[in-house]
Amino acid sequence: MAALSNLLVPCGGKWVGMILQLRSAMQAVAALRGGRVLVADRAPLTPAGCFADAAFVVPSVSDPEYVDRLLELCRVHAVRVVLPLIDIDLERLASEAGRFADLGVTLVCPPEELVDLCLDKARFAAFARKHGLSHPRTYRPDQLRDDLFPLFVKRRRGFGSVGSELCHSADEARSALARFPDLLFQEYVRAAEISVDAFISSAGRCTVRVPRLRDRVVGGEAMQTHTIRSAPVTELADRTIAALADLGLRGPLNIQMFDGASPTLIEVNTRLGSASVLSNVASDGRLFASVLQEACGEVSPGAPDDYRDVRLYRYLGDVFHDGLRPLGILPPVERSP
């Protein structure tokens, strides 16, 4: 039987930089050194799949056969680690970690309870209050008053900012609720947004923590961002990380907050953020290497303040294809031998 040395990234999508940096990170992990990066997606062709060592078509995340197909890919292609990158994948796979473990595969995903805590914005708001973590005041529809507006609204379990908007009046709130009945209403905070990419080791210790300012955001994704050093941001991030670590969270996480003299939490994603490629470079590759090392049973060292100042400016590439096969790619693909 071939040694399990490959990395599978489901829902690979468009984030080419993530795939390239993960391939490099594999070289820091004995069990993955020389292995291949595989991408699985419901689309027959994706930009990330073009830059991976191999790409496979799988059903939609919501399809009953989705998990079985991923397990089949793990069996056939000597996969050692499965690394989900999007929230809906975490939500679907969290309960299936045991099935992957039976094949000798590590699924980089927290337990269901922690995934749900961070996806459910009402539960997360209650968690923040319980632990004294600054968070916008949150209201149910039956708690709204005219004097509270403007309020920012978001879906209780939404993804990708779908359904999120600013409401200036009760009439606008009723209109928003007609479109999405599961909305929560939050105090409107006027401040720049910060993301903190972090890693909690198997010992429950934070070994990577890189705060960055989201300079330009398009569709919920940071297209320009740069690292910062801020004592208030670090203090809130560390208390949030510690509270989640006490509940058993291990692995990568992405903390989003509003900046200011007293930063305020927005939410936590229990995965790598798409712009964590910046934090990986700022930490000299420790972020992604830590994820893969600990997934393979190694210990990831490091200190959270050990990062350098870096800026990221994402740009568009081009994939020309006939629907199934790439005809040309700019910049060109460089795959592992």
For 5-44, letters b (16+ CB in 10 Å) and e give bbbbbbbbbbbbbbbbbbbebbebbebbeebbbbbbbeee
In terms of domains, do 203 and 243 share one?
A: yes
* Residue 220 confidence (pLDDT): 79
In terms of domains, do 301 and 255 share one?
A: yes
In terms of domains, do 220 and 154 share one?
A: no
* Residue 336 confidence (pLDDT): 59
* Residue 323 confidence (pLDDT): 84
Query: Which residue type is seen at 239?
Result: R
In terms of domains, do 273 and 249 share one?
A: yes
Choosing from 162, 187, 212, the residue where a domain stops is: 187
The CATH code of the domain that includes 232 is: 3.30.470.20
In a domain, 125, yes or no: no
Choosing from 147, 162, 187, the residue where a domain stops is: 187
CA gap 250, 205 in Å, rounded: 9
In terms of domains, do 34 and 102 share one?
A: yes
Task: Count structural domains, the chain.
Answer: 3
In terms of domains, do 165 and 264 share one?
A: no
In terms of domains, do 205 and 101 share one?
A: no
pLDDT tens, residue by residue, 84-95: 999 999 999 999
* Residue 162 confidence (pLDDT): 72
In terms of domains, do 255 and 296 share one?
A: yes
In a domain, 68, yes or no: yes
Q: Residue 173's domain spans which residues? A: 137-187
In terms of domains, do 206 and 173 share one?
A: no
In a domain, 216, yes or no: yes
In a domain, 126, yes or no: no
In a domain, 280, yes or no: yes
CA gap 114, 99 in Å, rounded: 19
In terms of domains, do 183 and 195 share one?
A: no
In a domain, 25, yes or no: yes
pLDDT tens, residue by residue, 159-196: 766 778 899 999 999 999 999 998 999 999 999 999 99
In a domain, 130, yes or no: no
Residues (pLDDT < 50) of the chain are: none
In terms of domains, do 206 and 305 share one?
A: yes
* Residue 160 confidence (pLDDT): 65
pTM for the complete prediction? 0.94
In a domain, 148, yes or no: yes
In terms of domains, do 163 and 203 share one?
A: no
